[in-house]
Amino acid sequence: MDEYENLTYEVKDNTAIIGINRPKAMNALNKGVRDDLRAAIDRIEASDDVGAVIITGAGDKAFVAGADISEFVGLTPLGTQDLCADLHSLLDKIELFSKPVIAAVNGLAFGGGCELLLACHLRICSDKALFGLPELGLGVIPGGGGTQRLPRVIGKGRALEVMLTGKNVDAQEAYRIGLVNKVVPGDKLMEESQGMAKMILKKSPAAVRMTLQAVNEGMMTDQVTALRLEKKLVGITFSTEDCKEGINSFLEKRKPSFTGR
């Protein structure tokens, strides 16, 4: 296991498992965590041995309890915008990452923690997890993409209710409104998350990458433009070795052996 200053990092069965490791601060997202996460994602991008990513929190209390409020003290308006820009760039990097990122939410996920999991492609949570965007109670608004990603995930009305009331959302409610894909007992969280990663890793890496691109970029534009993008990406996948292998293995009634090319 390799360790960053603020993260734990290990690769297991072609899946990188990143643990945000500031348990005394409830894994709050300070600059050190943001820098380490950015470095870890860049490292995974360059690795042919990693096909999926799981992000979780150290300990059993918090995934990420929020941004580090101590960084807010004395911020000027320009300084605040710089802080938001830094967080935006990190979460954009995760959302647009070419390999699937699964959030394994093991506890509290408030503020920046909720915004982090919203940037992940898939979300599995413990039955003890708790979610929320409580920023309005501090006299500010969510600044890590929450005002934009949450409505896209759960719908405008529900998102506004979460933000305007500052209410906490428990695990079952999070599943009901589509904030998470699955709720499991806490002791099964990593098993389920790794199981989902293994299912994805059986698919063509090239097709997984193209699917992430089609969905992410398509949601940023109108449907006509998005369908043009889909058509283009379908054409690209048909030129890959993975496509040829997938078709041949189907016709030959055997399991495919994908290479990502």
Q: Which residues does residue 57 pair with via DSSP β-bridges, in sequence order?
A: 20
Q: Count the neighbouring beta carbons within 10 Å of the beta carbon of residue 37.
A: 22
In 3D, which of 54, 27, 16, 15 has the Cα closest to residue 6? 27
Q: Are strands 15-20 and 182-184 parallel, antiparallel or unpaired?
A: unpaired
Q: Which residues contact residue 129 at a Cβ distance below 8 angstroms, ignoring those fewer than 6 apart?
A: 63, 105, 106, 107, 108, 109, 170, 171, 174, 180, 183
* Active-site annotation holds for 71: no
Alpha-carbon span 108 to 168, nearest angstrom: 10
Helix 77-95 to helix 112-119 angle, to the nearest 10 degrees?
Answer: 30
Catalytic entry in 3, 71, 115, 217: 115
* Active-site annotation holds for 115: yes
E strand map for the chain: 2-3, 7-12, 15-20, 52-57, 62-64, 101-105, 108-110, 122-126, 130-132, 169-170, 182-184
Burial class (CB in 10 A: 0-12, 13-18, 19+), 260: middle
Catalytic entry in 10, 71, 135, 192: 135
Alpha-carbon span 108 to 116, nearest angstrom: 12
**Which tokens is 147 given?**
């005002």
Q: Annotated active-site positions, please?
A: 115, 135
